Structures are given as C-alpha cells and as structure tokens.
Amino acid sequence: MPARGLRRQCGHVALALLALVGCGPVLDEVVERGGPAPLVVDAPIAWPAEGARLTPPPVVVPEVLRGVVVAVDAGHGAPGNTGARSARCEDEQDLVLPIAEQVADVLDAGGLTVLRLRPPGERPTYDARLRALADSAAVLMVSVHADVRLPASAWSPTPGCEALVSHGQPGFSTLWSDEDPTLAPGRRALADALAARLRQTGLPAYDGQDYTGIYEQTGPGVFVDRHRPARRVRFLRRPAVPSAIVEVAHLLDPDASLRIREPAVKAALAHAIAGGIVDALMEDRAVLPTDGAAPAGRR
C-alpha cells in the first residue's frame, strides 16, 4: 500500500532529516515524548498487523518517585558482544540502544534519575555495568534486548548480507529470575508490569514456542529463567535490586527489524517500558528509599 510504503520510508531517515522532509504526525509524536503529557500515536501503523494502532499509555511519574534512581541498560554493546544478528544483518546492540535511550529520556523527563548502564558511544563490559549498578543508588534495573527465534531459514536480502529469516513467532517478552527468593517477587512484579504496558501498546505477547527448556512462561509474554545454572542470565540473577529484561521483538522477522526503528514504534516501546518501570515502583514501595535510609531493595 502506498501509505505503508511512505511510513516505512520515513522510518529510515534520520530525525534531523524528518524535520526537513516533514513526516507529519510521526515527527510530532517524537517531539511530544516525555513528561506527564500523554503520547498518543493515532496514526495507523501496519505493524504488528495491518491497521494496528500503537497507542502508548501516558507515563505519569507520581511525586513520590521524583529523584528515585533507576538503571536502564541497552543490551550487548560490550567488546566482542554485539548481540544477535537481524534478518537484515543489523546488530542487536545497535537496534536496542535508541530504544533504551528513549526509555531513559522519558523517565528523566518525568523526574526520575536514570543511570544509563551503556551510554551512547561507550562499550562497558557486563561486569562493569553490574558494578556500576551495585555502586549506585538505583532501586531497579531494566535491560532492553531483542530476540532471535528458531526455526529460521537462510536468505540474502541485500548483496553481502547473509542472514537468517523467520516469519513466525512474533511478539515481545519480558524475562525474570526466581533464583533469589527475597528478590523474586520484585523481579516478577517488574516483568509483569513491563509486559502489561507493552500489551497496552497493541504489541502481541510472545507465546514462548522457542523458549522450551530455557524459559518457563509465568504470564502473557512473561517468562522466568530456566537455563541450567551455569547458563543463567547474569542481568537477571546478579543485580541486588529488582531487574528484568525486555525482548522488544523477533529480529529474524524482517518486518519487525524495520519497524522497531520507526520513530512512532520506538516511542511506543519506550513509553511502554518506562510506564512499566513506574508501575513497578508504585506497586513495590518497599524498594523506594526512605529519608536517610538505604533502599530496602539493596539489601
């Protein structure tokens, strides 16, 4: 459809260029992000389904959360760790960084204090990020990733790009660990809150078909780590504060890897994740710092 083609084309150019060529409502949605004002993406977006609407709920940060520190991580991006490879030969580290940055921007605008564990242009190791988290006053951590799910087949969408492609298994997932019984309830509440907000955007929740044996489903789009002990996910089990991973999409779906770069979709994902963080904080007041006391979540 011509309209779909235009929107896709708009999603490919830099934001500065968008201002010049004019992509109408898409640009407006981006500049309106942040703060308590609701962001409404009211233009139809042909993803995750033709005619679907991504309408992120407003991110309202209550006064009690002002100044509370939360950590946001962009997955991978460490030396030797570029993450998964998309169906279009993009690296996961590059696709998730802008989303994580926008999550941080939305929370910053709402009055939270955000610790960015992988700022743009930096490549800290995972151990360095975990140390930075432990040394901070952050009461919660979310890491933004994107999945690749099998089965898939080989294809070459452009000269020089040899990749895997898979048109099934759509949807986001949120991941948590029940390894520490003290932290498990907060981790699960965070994973649940993130998934609830992502569902509100109109994104499908992943059914977990390719997670058999490594994750167990605990809710719509929500999964607990079931890797064997030596393979369990560090960012789920190591933080001493509630933590969760968001897999925003299935990167072997060539449509998804395009769509998550579009400003409207990226904004919807970022607002959903930011909203889930705020919801989790409000649900588990025990993790919040009290005057002069260390946050309970850092015990």
Write out the residues near Zn ion by the rule CB under 5 A: 75, 83, 145
Residue 285: strand, helix, or coil: helix
For residue 76, the minimal CB distance to Zn ion (Å) is 6
What is the smallest separation between the CB atom of 247 and Zn ion, expressed in angstroms? 7
Residue 112 beta carbon to Zn ion: minimum distance, rounded to whole angstroms: 24
| Residue 138: both structure tokens together | 């952050």
Cβ atoms of 111 and 66 within 8 Å: the answer is yes
Dist. CA 97–CA 106, nearest whole Å: 14
To 10 degrees, what angle do helices 263-283 and 2-12 make? 70
Q: The tokens 């509440």 sit on which residue?
A: 189
For residue 283, the minimal CB distance to Zn ion (Å) is: 26
Measured from the CB atom, the residue of 104 and 148 that comes closer to Zn ion is 148
Instruction: Report the distance separating Cα 219 and Cα 197, nearest Å.
Output: 13
Cβ closer to Zn ion: 65 or 148? 148
Q: Which is nearer to Zn ion, 100 or 189 (CB)?
A: 100
Minimum distance, C-beta of residue 215 to Zn ion, in the bound complex (Å) = 13
Residue nearest to Zn ion (CB): 145
Count of alpha carbons within 13 angstroms of residue 130, beta-carbon side: 13
Backbone φ and ψ for 32, nearest 5 degrees, come out as: -90, 0
End-to-end CA distance of the chain: 55
Q: Which is nearer to Zn ion, 75 or 263 (CB)?
A: 75
CB of 94 or CB of 178, closer to Zn ion: 94
